[in-house]
Amino acid sequence: MGNGLGNICAVLGIRFKPHDAIEDAKAAGQVLLRAMTQTGLDLDGWLSRAEQPIDPAATSKFAMEGNPDGSLAGKEVVFTGTLTIPRRQAANLAAKAGCDVAAVVKKTTKHTFII
């Protein structure tokens, strides 16, 4: 289930007619009011939160030195895109195996693999 208005409203039990501008606006307002009530964040807090990733930990960039005794010592890895595990966990696993984990792709990055 995605994070679209229809799915969120279904979970919250909010009934509305989708793809109607007024109905969409009312439903979005109801979702926001419930979010404010449940979290204690005010409108400014939610407007600020809406600018952030849904799961900040999943999209944060990590850089760390690899284990010099690991089987992949001296190799560099950069995690981009969506992962099936938290980014921090992937970075820790790679560093344990010896990879230096870089936060971004650089001119010196030698190989790119898309998995």
Q: Exposed (0-12), middle (13-18) or buried (19+): which is 88, by Cβ within 10 Å? A: middle
pLDDT of 6-56, one tens digit each? Answer: 999 999 999 999 889 999 999 999 999 999 999 999 999 988 888 776 665
As a whole number of angstroms, the distance between CA 94 and CA 78 comes to 10
Residue that wins the pLDDT comparison between 32 and 2: 32
Predicted local distance difference test score (pLDDT) of residue 55: 64
- The model carries a pTM of 0.48
Structure tokens at 98: 């010896």
Q: Exposed (0-12), middle (13-18) or buried (19+): which is 83, by Cβ within 10 Å? A: middle
Which uninterrupted H or E stretch holds 51?
none
Predicted local distance difference test score (pLDDT) of residue 92: 92
Predicted local distance difference test score (pLDDT) of residue 28: 94
Indicate the DSSP class of residue 84.
S
Predicted local distance difference test score (pLDDT) of residue 53: 66
- φ, ψ for residue 78, nearest 5 deg: -130, 125
pLDDT of 96-109, one tens digit each? Answer: 999 999 888 887 77
Beta strands in the chain (DSSP E): 76-78, 100-102
